[in-house]
Amino acid sequence: MKLPEKLKSIFRAPRLTKARMIVAMAMAMAADGLQLLLGPLGWVVIDQAIDCVAMVLITWVIGFHILLLPTFVVELIPVLEDLPTWTACTAAVIALRKREQRIQPPPPPSKPAIDV
C-alpha cells in the first residue's frame, strides 16, 4: 500500500450514527464544562491535558477534521479556553459530515471475481 493510500485509510471518517454524534457531543461538552469549572487562569497543565484528551477522543469517535486543529490552538489561549469551543467545533464537524454523507452516493457493492 502506498503512503497516500495509508493516510487516506487512517484519516477516513467513519460513518456518522446517532450514537457517534451523541458520544462526540457529550465528550465535547464535558471538556468545555471541566475547563469552565477549573477557571480561566488556574490549573494550566490540567487544561492542556483536557484539550489533548478531547482532541484524541473526538477524533477517534467522529474522525479527523481540519476544524479540530484551530480549536485545539484556541484552547491553549488562557481566557478563550472558557468559551465552549469544543462543543461548537464538534457540532460544526457533525453538520459538515452529515452534509458530506448526504451528497456522497454509497459505494457500489463489490462483485466477486470470476475465474475462467
Q: Which amino acid is at 89?
A: C
Alpha carbon 84 to its chain's center: 15
The boundaries of the domain holding residue 48 are 29-99
Quick check: is 33 in a domain? yes
pLDDT digits (tens, 9 = 90+) for 36-52: 888 766 567 888 899 99
Name which residue leads in pLDDT, 81 or 30: 30
Question: C-alpha grid cell for residue 47?
Answer: 487544561
What is the tally of structural domains in the chain? 1
Does residue 40 form part of some domain? yes
Per-residue burial over 36-63, b if 16 or more Cβ lie within 10 Å, else e, is: eebeeeeeeeebeebbeebbebbbebbb
Confidence check: pLDDT of 16 > 60: yes
| 49-108 tens-digit pLDDT | 999 999 999 999 998 889 999 999 998 887 788 889 999 999 999 999 888 888 766 666
DSSP letter at 81 equals G
Task: Let me know if residue 62 belongs to a domain.
Answer: yes
Q: 74: which residues sit within 8 A by CB, 6+ positions away?
A: 80, 81, 83, 85
Report yes or no on 52 lying in a domain. Answer: yes
Q: Is the pLDDT of residue 28 over 80?
A: yes
Q: Is residue 93 part of a domain?
A: yes
